[in-house]
Amino acid sequence: MSTGKINVSVENIFPLIKKFLYSDHEIFLRELVSNATDATLKLKHLTSIGEAKVDYGSPRIEVKIDKEGKKLHIIDQGLGMTADEVEKYINQVAFSGAEEFLEKYKDSAKDSGIIGHFGLGFYSAFMVASKVEIITKSYKDEPAAHWTCDGSPEFTLEAADKTDRGTEIILHIAEDSLEFLEEFKIRELLTKYNKFMPIPIKFGTKQQALPKPEDAPEDYKTEYEEVDNIINNPTPAWTKQPVDLTDEDYKNFYRELYPMQFEEPLFNIHLNVDYPFNLTGILYFPKMSSDMQMQKDKIQLYQNQVFVTDNVEGIVPEFLVMLKGVIDSPDIPLNVSRSYLQADGNVKKISNYITRKVADKLKSLFNENRDDFEKKWNDIKIVLEYGMLSEPKFYEKAGDFVLYPTVDDKYYTLAELKEAITANQTDKNGKLVVLYASNKETQHSYIDIAKEKGYEVLLLDSPIVSHLIQKLEQDNENMTFTRVDSDHIDKLIQKEDAQISKLSEDESSKLKTVLEELVPKATYTVQLEPMDSAMAPFMITQPEFMRRMKEMGQTGGGG
């Protein structure tokens, strides 16, 4: 047997990084702006603990296009690098200076918001650039350095005359990536990935209206001034404490998050946990609507205020995927496959935490203002009913706030419903019979009959109702659900003696025979109904069981 060391040659690795490191070339900008942010946050930390004796000031990051020179500049006022540090951090592929920093300043820096950790981000620049330059001046009293590399393993490193602190990265955009010299493209990327990053990012300038002078003449024309265009909001709502935010702040943030969405959210849930994992965020229950924009607006996942993805599958419990908002967690392993995600213990904990928070919030909304909760029921019921079916942890809590509306807009909790029907809606075996309609219009005559008899009739019209009913019946042995137009209804113990049909017994049975000839026996039954003259003297019903089988077949899956 022999052992040895695999020889990784940089010559081989570069093209690999270029091609496969990230499938999405556009993320180079996210990586470089993240590094600029890290450099600034590190300086902030070092000045705060007194290790860097310089004025932190109010630094920002600038992104600049030089279209003629085919160059893209990313400039920061962070801690900079000495020539030695460039050797150490840049020339060593896969050595992360961010990780080293966090390791060194462990306790004090753990909440600093530093982003990097794989030590590969910088090299993503070569996905779009044929040559990259770094001009950098450290906060330490050392000369500036100038590093140049064309993507081959050779680089040059020389002194530079930069005098102000910070780093400028210059990308010489490759011929196949010229789109990254377009203003709209860069703006699109900055808005997508950096909209909520913690250091202000300047991209170009914009016109801003000057305030109207007090003595302005009648025909005053608004005057404008040219100001820096800051593309991000460095302190988005989710980074603040709930006590510092008003309802209006939450709504404003929703608009900021989804500028194309004009519907207001119903309510929000502020997430904030730091043990056993870190997670912050705000989730919104939207008004259910079928418009396309609504479906495009998804929950966004951030890591330290850097946008990562809006595919939160596996992290947010499935039944909450229809919600809107943001989740920010440094503890979600993002560069791994989705199937791995599902097996990751932290991710499962996060998903459970979100379920619990959502249930708690629903419960408190219900307790604080039941009227308002009932008004919102129609918009939230699908999510909640689906949650009851798919998430046992949610189902356990659902009894506290899930509602069962009647056709007359009364709303019962399950416990209240049981109480309301105990007196007169039982079958021969004493089981409670819950009558429900799935459509007020088409089933109105059956609903009227049932109400006539003094029964409560629920209105359950979600597409997943048959699954939900099955689950409720499983867990409440003393209860059975029957749709108003099914054949079991006459087996209820009735409150009063029923009114008698105006037809004679003989006439009725003749009619029944005729009808039975017309109706397919396998799926429907004809029954005589004692009722008042305003209604038909008989009903054609479908057995509950037959219909449910059919419906469950249509919606697929079991409960």
Q: Please give the annotated binding residues for ATP, written as ranges.
A: 31, 35, 76, 81, 96-97, 167, 338
Which partner from the list Mg ion, ligand ADP, none does 89 bind, CB cut-off 5 to 8 Å by kind?
ligand ADP
Cβ–Cβ under 8 Å, residues 74 and 36 = yes
The only residue of 78, 97, 113, 121 in contact with Mg ion, by rule CB under 5 A: 121
Q: Give the whole-angstrom CA distance, residue 473 versus residue 455.
A: 19
Region of 63-71, 74-82, 359-367, 497-505 interacting with ligand ADP (CB under 6 A): 74-82
CA distance 152 to 133: 13
CB of 135 to ligand ADP, least distance (A): 10
Is residue 116 a contact point for Mg ion (CB under 5 A)? yes
- Three-class SS string for 45-91? HHHHCCCCCCCCCCCCEEEEEECCCCEEEEEECCCCCCHHHHHHHHC
Compute the least distance from the CB of residue 36 to Mg ion, in Å. Answer: 9
CB 79 within 8 A of CB 51: no
Helices (H), 142-211: 183-193
Q: Which of 26, 62, 76, 297 binds ligand ADP (CB under 6 A)?
A: 76
When asked if residue 98 is in the footprint of ligand ADP (CB under 6 A), the reply is yes
Pick 167 or 425: Cβ nearer ligand ADP: 167
Nearer to ligand ADP, 102 or 535 (CB): 102
* 77 makes contact with Mg ion (CB under 5 A): no
Q: Which residue has the tokens 């570069």?
A: 14
Residue found under tokens 């088409």: 442
User: Which letter does DSSP use for residue 303 in this model?
Assistant: E
Q: Which of residues 16-45 bind ligand ADP (CB under 6 A)?
A: 31, 35-36, 38-39
Nearest to 389 by CA among 284, 327, 471: 471
Q: Does 308 bind ligand ADP (CB under 6 A)?
A: no
Print the SS3 string covering 252-268.
HHHHHHCCCCCCCCCEE
198 part of the interface to ligand ADP, by CB under 6 A: no
Strands annotated E in 114-266: 129-137, 144-149, 155-160, 166-173, 201-209, 224-230
Taking the least distance from each CB to ligand ADP, the nearer of 78 and 314 is: 78
Distance in Å, CB of 35 to Mg ion, minimum = 4
The residue count for binding ligand ADP (CB under 6 A) is 22
- Examine residue 35 and tell whether it contacts Mg ion (CB under 5 A): yes
Q: Which partner, Mg ion, ligand ADP, none, binds residue 297 by CB below 5 to 8 Å per kind? A: none
Residue 59 binds ligand ADP, judged by CB under 6 A: no
Which stretches of 179-329 are assigned E, i.e. beta strand? 201-209, 224-230, 267-273, 279-285, 300-303, 306-309, 324-328
- Which of these ranges, 115-123, 170-178, 193-201, 541-549, lies near ligand ADP under the rule CB under 6 A? 115-123
232: partner contacted, choices ligand ADP, Mg ion, none (Cβ within 5-8 A by kind): none
Given a contact cutoff of 8 angstroms between Cβ atoms, the answer to whether 321 and 355 are in contact is no
Cβ at position 367, least distance to ligand ADP in Å: 46
- Which of 116/317 has CB closer to ligand ADP? 116
90 contacts which partner out of Mg ion, ligand ADP, none, CB within 5 to 8 A by kind?
ligand ADP
Cα 55 to Cα 46, 58, 442, distances in angstroms:
11, 9, 74
- Out of Mg ion, ligand ADP, none, what residue 387 binds, judged by CB under 5 to 8 A for its kind, is none
For residue 340, the partner it binds in Mg ion, ligand ADP, none, with Cβ less than 5 to 8 A by kind, is none
Counting contacts by CB under 6 A, is residue 537 touching ligand ADP? no
- Note whether 121 binds ligand ADP by CB under 6 A: yes
Using N-to-C axis directions, what is the helix angle for 183-193 and 27-48, rounded to 10°?
A: 60
Can residue 133 be called a binding residue for ligand ADP (CB under 6 A)? no
Least Å from the CB of residue 80 to ligand ADP: 6
Shortest distance, position 138 Cβ to Mg ion, whole Å: 18
Residue 127: which of 39, 10, 16, 9 has the closest Cα?
16
Return the SS3 of 440.
coil
According to CB under 6 A, which one of 17, 27, 29, 97 is a site residue for ligand ADP?
97
Task: Identify the H or E element spanning 338.
Answer: helix 338-343
Please report, to the nearest 10 degrees, the dihedral formed by the alpha carbons of residues 534, 538, 544, 550 taken in order: -100
Nearer to Mg ion, 42 or 165 (CB): 42
- Chain positions contacting ligand ADP, by CB under 6 A: 31, 35-36, 38-39, 76, 78, 80-81, 89-90, 96-98, 116-122, 167
Chain contacts with Mg ion (rule: CB under 5 A) = 35, 116, 121
